[in-house]
Amino acid sequence: MKTRRKYDRQFKLEVVNRSLECNNIDKLGEELSIHPDMISRWRREFLKSGEKLSFPGNGKEALSQEEQELRRLRKELADSRLETQILRRLSTSFPWETQPLSNDSR
């Protein structure tokens, strides 16, 4: 079984730039021993996300700062909802905890 080759961000950017200059992805792929579909995918990502957000590495999604903040806030909201749900279940399990104690010692 073949092991997957990993390409660093700089290499991908160079390949994309060369592919945009020559417009012959098949020839470039043959020259670099990279499948043309891979070069096409890198080009699409580059053209969609731009140079700064393209190829973040290790399978991470390229997100803008706003998208990162939105993702963080959604996670925080989900955590808060889960915490609230757990506390509600606990409050029904221990009803004596939720009622105030009376000061009468009769």
Burial of 16 (0-12, 13-18, 19+ CB in 10 A): buried
Contact at 8 Å (CB) between 16 and 49? Answer: no
Whole-number mean pLDDT of the chain? 80
Residue with tokens 């390229």: 62
Residue 45 structure tokens: 């990502």
Rounded to a whole number of angstroms, the distance between the first and last alpha carbons of the chain is 81
Q: Does the pLDDT of residue 105 top 60, yes or no?
A: no
Q: How confident is the model at residue 9 (pLDDT cuts 50, 70, 90)?
A: confident
> What's the pLDDT tens digit per position in 40-85?
988 888 888 776 667 766 556 666 778 888 989 999 999 999 999 8
Nearest to 68 by CA among 50, 53, 83: 53
Across the range 92-99, mean pLDDT stands at 64
Share of the chain above pLDDT 70, in %: 76
Residue with tokens 């731009």: 50
Residue type, 77: L
